[in-house]
A = this chain, B = another copy of it.
């Protein structure tokens, strides 16, 4: 099994590579090679029973897509994207990377010939939905995005469904929940605080909460997200029929519920490190985001996410903190 990971230097890409290295197999076959492709250099990979190649390049450059599928990968994970904030700030870059890049990839696959029809697992986003919403967004709710990023992902979903229906590839577009607790440093993404208010206090560091505690959102751990990618790859797109975009399961909870989970796991001391500093800009952005889903289709297909936010925090402690809380929380 020859695997290509586009966006392989990112957080999910690195965790996906780590899982593939650990398992050595996917879709019932031994992995022969993993190629990591990204615009920046990926960190050194873990020890693996198969060859790992690392390529730097921009999928939106003409000819790049043809180059990266030249050795006909059997399975392609396409995780690369300009994030929401950047796609809104730089209109042309967002369309170039998030729409043209994906189209170049599927066009290169279509034109490859020789019966080439790889499995393609693409990360879409709940940003394809825009308010007003029902209480829980079902599998038949329209995609009416309120950002250019969401528009680009919704277009990609449509293209992947059509190219799959035509038999050019076997695609799946996975609408990921917000990945939380995101490891690493705080970033400036509007959604960053959902992770910051957990990760930073667990390290004994203050974190800013810019919204009210009744804000509700849709979460899954990085471990669950990687699990979705692997499970989708194993399942294949045929299980989705003509509708290749799939809303994945997640946990709907309020910021207040996140904080109470932190209190149960790490105590009052941790919670006291959260500083409430309302930010009207972020409050406004977040007010247009999905709060809850009824991901029945994915659930019926066997996809599962965490059931409590306590569990999401414990996954973070296991995967990022070596299973232990910082010294401040004995």
Contacts and interface: CB of A to CB of B under 8 A. Distances in A.
A56 interface: no
Contacts of A139: 142
Contacts of A166: 91, 148
B144 A141 contact: no
A243 B161 contact: no
A159 B165 contact: no
A68 interface: no
A140 B141 contact: yes
Given A144-B243, A242-B144, A158 B161 contact: no
A233 to B, nearest CB: 22
Q: Which of A140, A141, A144, A154 counts the most chain B CB atoms within 10 A? A: A144
A30 interface: no
A151 interface: yes
A145 B158 contact: yes
Interface in A111-149: 130, 134, 139-146, 148
A295 interface: no
A162 interface: yes
A155 interface: yes
A308 to B, nearest CB: 30
B140 A142 contact: yes
A148 B161 contact: no
B145 A142 contact: no
Nearest to A153: B158
Contact of A158 (B143, B165, B242): B143
A144 B281 CA distance: 34
Nearest to A133: B140
Q: Which of A91, A140, A148, A158 counts the most chain B CB atoms within 10 A? A: A158
Contacts of A158: 143, 145, 151, 154-155, 158
B162 A130 contact: no
Interface of A: 91, 130, 134, 139-146, 148, 151, 154-155, 158-159, 161-162, 165-166, 242-243
